[in-house]
Amino acid sequence: MLLLGVTVILQSASIREAVETSAPVYSWVIFCAGILLGWRFKRIQLAVALGVLFAAERAIAYFPAAGPSAPVGRVVYAAVALLLPFDLAAIAWLSERTMWTWAGRLVEGAILIQPLAIALLLRPELASVAQALQHGIDPSGLHVTKIPAIGLLAFLVAIALTALRFVVRRTVIQASLAWALLAALLGLNGDRAATTVYLATGGLVLIVSLIETSHRMAFSDELTGLPSRRALTDALMRLPEHYTIAMIDIDHFKQLNDEFGHAAGDQVLRLIGSTLTRTEGGGRPFRYGGEEFAVLFPGKSAAEALPYLEDLRETIEASSFTLRGRDRPKLRPEKPVRSIGRRPTLAITVSIGVAEPDEPGVEPDEVIRAADQALYEAKHTGRNRICLAE
């Protein structure tokens, strides 16, 4: 949507002058803010990508391909068109962890020496190489693209590599790098103002991905995929006057962990999380912590929520849970492979405590405490049951 909006703005003649005037300010604000945020949130991968886009934008702005410096500007433009897509593709194939390994250091080192490589291209003895980089491809004569042939090929290869990386690792960061690469392609195919605006917008896409990723980390539980306890706290601030909270605890979970290990415990937590997402009646599940979950029913009384919670309890009780075998391959084989030995099957049950505000103005924390007390009663009166707060 950001790229589409920029494209529409750049096609509007009425605001074109304003865009050309504000483009440099827009670029400086986006890239400086983005690099600062990347450093603050320890996202070196995005900070490096923002630095690469900023360096490319500054190089093209400082060495325009028109006027007295046109010969130098054309060489710089051709070099940027060749190097920028490969830089972004290489960064996309890294991760935050591998940025600190030899592979990350190699990519960072290659990026740092690129200004020297471009400077060498300006030497008279390398004029033939610089001329080859500027060779265009437009047999139709329609001037479809101004990007040199080798630069266009670099973009096509980089787009394929970045798309493949996104297929392998579907994250917001990988998607944002793909969009930043598309912004670079559009920017280098436009005039000077369009180049600045598109490259800066590519940086803005990276900033948005950083904010979205940080939000997901704060408000989503990585193991189960459910909203986290912080998300529950946020939801409790916007509740209607009537609501019900159910606290759910996995029975004998510590014993399961001790007997089968934490990997088996994680599998059980994922199973419960997946089952909770199918809660009916408008129930919203959350991972509260440890083996405890919460389900929030906005606008419903405890009596109205009880049938849905009973269905949920029965569904979990009726589910058979088979532990993964130790010989299970890490990658899914083309044909099913029979495990050696018999894998244990576990019966999983949950205890549930339910509470609602007994009068208007009651703080949600008090309702949670009441639901926790009801959960305590459910566990101490036999487990695998639902207890209502008194």
> What pLDDT band is residue 236 in, cutting at 50, 70 and 90?
confident
pLDDT beyond 80 at 33: yes
Q: What's the pLDDT tens digit per position in 87-145? A: 999 999 998 888 889 999 999 999 999 999 999 988 888 888 888 888 876 555 445 67
Lowest model confidence (mean pLDDT) among 49-58, 60-69, 140-149, 279-288: 140-149
- Mean pLDDT value of segment 332-359: 73
223: left (phi over 0), alpha (psi -120 to 50) or beta: alpha
> What pLDDT band is residue 239 in, cutting at 50, 70 and 90?
confident
pLDDT at site 345: 75
pLDDT at site 238: 83
Could you tell me if 244 and 305 are in contact, meaning their C-beta atoms sit under 8 angstroms apart?
yes
Q: What's the pLDDT tens digit per position in 174-225? A: 999 999 999 999 999 888 888 999 999 999 999 999 998 888 888 888 888 8
> What pLDDT band is residue 330 in, cutting at 50, 70 and 90?
very low
Could you tell me if 227 and 219 are in contact, meaning their C-beta atoms sit under 8 angstroms apart?
yes
pLDDT beyond 80 at 339: no
> What pLDDT band is residue 343 in, cutting at 50, 70 and 90?
low
Which residues are paired to 386 by β-bridges? 352
> What pLDDT band is residue 71 in, cutting at 50, 70 and 90?
confident
- Mean pLDDT value of segment 61-76: 83
pLDDT beyond 70 at 36: yes
Q: Return the active site residues.
A: 291
With both helix axes pointing from N to C terminus, report the angle between 192-219 and 172-188 in degrees, rounded to the nearest 10.
Answer: 170
pLDDT at site 370: 94
> What pLDDT band is residue 21 in, cutting at 50, 70 and 90?
confident
With the C-alpha atoms ordered 349, 319, 307, 305, is the resulting torsion angle positive or negative? Answer: positive
Could you tell me if 279 and 295 are in contact, meaning their C-beta atoms sit under 8 angstroms apart?
yes
- Count the alpha carbons within 13 Å of 340 in the hemisphere toward its beta carbon: 3
- Mean pLDDT value of segment 324-328: 53
Q: Which helix (H) or strand (E) holds 48?
A: helix 44-62
User: Cα(144)–Cα(123) distance, rounded to whole angstroms?
Assistant: 31
The per-residue pLDDT of the chain, averaged, comes to 87
More confident residue, 360 or 245: 245
Report pTM.
Answer: 0.74
pLDDT at site 84: 95
DSSP character at residue 336: -
pLDDT at site 144: 64
pLDDT at site 286: 95
